[in-house]
Amino acid sequence: MRLLSIFGQLARFGGAGSVSAVAHYGLLILLVQVFRVAPVLASAAGALLGAVVNYSLNYRYTFNSSKRHTEAVAKFAVIAAGGLILNTLSMLVAVDLLAFHYLLAQVGTTGLVFIWSFLGNRCWTFHAPRETGE
């Protein structure tokens, strides 16, 4: 039963992440194609926008959290900052060193950040201690 619950949570996290990814990729493409911003910088800006969208969806929809926002936002910000660093470094390596197209690089990077974010938010940001029944 617990494993089924984790998969359900992972599916909801993926749904929330998809909405966040639309915001991230939309800003990324807009900045690169219209405003000629460098892909790594544009990706970082998109990741920040995606994080804002992601917090609100994950707080209620994915993790059904009852934590105070002051605690949850602070923890979420730490996980999001780690995700931003992972995103930016991965994009830097893929685009600037390996010469991948920025969108292909972003797809791979998104997978890495997805795993980091799910584990960090599930195990720390929105983690609720189990009731012991005492």
**Residue 133 within a domain:** no
**Residue 130 within a domain:** no
**Residue 47 within a domain:** yes
φ/ψ of residue 63, rounded to 5: -105, -5
Asked if 49 and 24 count as a contact pair (C-beta separation under 8 A), the reply is yes
Q: pLDDT at position 134, please?
A: 42
Q: How far apart are CA 18 and CA 130, in angstroms?
A: 29
Residues of the chain with pLDDT under 50: 134
Report how many domains make up the chain.
1
Domain containing 94 equals 2-125
- Measured at the CA of 45, the angle between CA 40 and CA 49, to 5 degrees, comes to 145
Q: What is the pTM of this model?
A: 0.82
Q: How far apart are CA 85 and CA 53, in angstroms?
A: 18
- Tally: H helices and E strands in the chain: 4, 0
**Residue 131 within a domain:** no
